[in-house]
Amino acid sequence: MEPGNANKAMSQLRRGVLEYCVLALLRGGSRYGVELLRELGHVDVMVTSEGTIYPLLSRLRRESLVKTSWQESSSGPPRRYYELTPSGQRALDDFTAEWPRFHDAVLHFLSQNEAPRS
């Protein structure tokens, strides 16, 4: 696979699972946007930008998967914190239940007719 195609494939994979990674991070309690970016950045393939995370968080809020609150910060202006809602928890639970089937299906096709290795 050419480098450009590999980057495109990784970008599409990340886009498909990013919201569930964010919901999973919120399972442990409320967080603000930069905190989510930092946590995602600890895993190389999940590094993302503010231009991606904030529209995603807005969409999750509109879909009632997260709720927000403003909290004062000792190091600057107030921060918007995001918290998982019961609907968000159900969406995460559903994804968590389906992910192994999806993962196994992809592995099935990737390993079919695999070229012999030398």
Q: Classify domain 3-109 at the CATH topology level.
A: Arc Repressor Mutant, subunit A (1.10.10)
- Domain chopping of the chain, boundaries: 3-109
Quote the percentage of the chain above a pLDDT of 70. 92
Is the pLDDT confidence value at 89 over 80? yes
Distance between CA atoms of residues 20 and 5, nearest Å: 24
Section 93-112 average pLDDT: 94
pLDDT for 9-59, tens place per residue? Answer: 888 888 889 999 999 999 999 999 999 999 999 998 899 999 999 999 999
pLDDT for 34 equals 94
Asked if pLDDT for residue 67 goes beyond 60, the answer is yes
Between CA 18 and CA 23 the distance in angstroms is 9
CA–CA dist 21, 1 (Å, integer): 27
